[in-house]
Structures are given as structure tokens and as C-alpha cells.
């Protein structure tokens, strides 16, 4: 017997707003919505595909009445794929994210940020090809 990691659920006040933010961050699309719930992903899961192999999990945003009170015990890490880490941080700030200090200290290779409802996430090193990063002349 085995299980599959299929969804990561995020409690929030405004599922539509948070889903729109994360769709923009990850280039995901809304794959399901109902009263107080929005699910986003890079693919539309089917039972057959999930049973056949491990697939990327979806994100589900569910409306709850209480607010966030402490640092997350679980967070997402994202890596830019077509630009520098600094460029991605600037893009995410423009989407409504904020830089935050959770005690990480200075000189880290990642940047700690928070989504519009204060959920922390990290922007890691870029995964862009090195030729993109240094330009065509090298």
C-alpha cells in the first residue's frame, strides 16, 4: 500500500486573490473552484495518472475565519527558470509579495518573502541557463 502527495492546502482569507497570486508566480492555472476554495496546478489531475506515477501536487486555497499568527512551519521554495534570482524577487514584489525577516540572517543565497496574506516562501538560486545569465558574448 502507498499514497501519493496530491495537494498542498493553504488556509487563507481570500482564496481567489491568493490563487491568482500563486498562478502568476508559478504559471499555474485554476483547475477547480467552489465556494471558499480554489485549486491551482500545472496540470489537471486524473485518478489514473496519479495512480500510475507521482505527479506534481496542486495547491488548494481554502477560506478560513482565523488569520495567520506565527511563522509557517511549512513553506514553498521557488526557483526562477528564465532570469536571475534578483529579477524574480523584483517580479514577485510587483505581484504583491514582500521581503520578510524570519531570522535567516544576512548573506544567504536565498530570499525569504511572504505572499499577500503573509505566508512565507523562499526564492532560491536561479535555474536559468548560465548563457542566459551572462549574455551572448560570455
CATH number of the domain at 32, please. Answer: 3.10.180.10
137: in domain? no
pTM of the model: 0.85
| More confidently predicted of 122 and 69 | 122
111: in domain? yes
Least confident of 3-17, 43-57, 88-102: 43-57
pLDDT at 29: 97
Q: Which domain holds residue 17?
A: 1-66
DSSP codes joined into one string, 40-73:
EESS---HHHHHHS--PPEEEEEE-SSPP-S--S
What is the total count of domains within the chain?
Answer: 2
Average pLDDT, the chain: 89
pLDDT in tens, 24-39: 999 999 999 999 999 9
Residues 79 and 118 in one domain: yes
Q: What is the mean pLDDT of residues 68-92?
A: 92
135: in domain? no
Residues 74 and 40 in one domain: no
Residues 79 and 35 in one domain: no
Residues 78 and 52 in one domain: no
pLDDT at 131: 58
Amino acid at each position: 500500500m502507498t499514497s501519493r502527495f496530491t495537494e498542498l492546502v493553504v488556509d487563507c482569507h481570500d482564496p481567489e486573490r491568493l490563487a491568482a497570486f500563486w498562478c502568476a508566480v508559478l504559471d499555474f492555472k485554476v483547475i477547480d473552484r467552489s465556494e471558499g476554495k480554489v485549486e491551482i496546478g500545472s496540470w489537471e489531475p486524473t485518478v489514473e495518472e496519479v495512480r500510475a506515477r507521482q505527479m506534481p501536487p496542486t495547491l488548494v486555497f481554502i477560506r478560513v475565519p482565523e488569520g495567520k499568527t506565527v511563522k509557517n512551519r511549512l513553506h514553498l521554495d521557488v526557483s526562477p527558470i528564465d532570469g536571475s534570482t534578483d529579477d524574480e524577487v523584483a517580479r514577485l514584489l510587483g505581484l504583491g509579495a514582500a521581503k520578510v525577516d524570519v531570522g535567516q540572517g544576512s548573506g544567504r543565497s536565498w530570499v525569504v518573502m511572504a505572499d499577500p496574506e503573509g505566508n512565507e516562501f523562499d526564492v532560491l538560486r536561479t535555474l536559468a541557463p548560465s548563457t542566459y545569465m551572462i549574455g551572448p558574448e560570455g
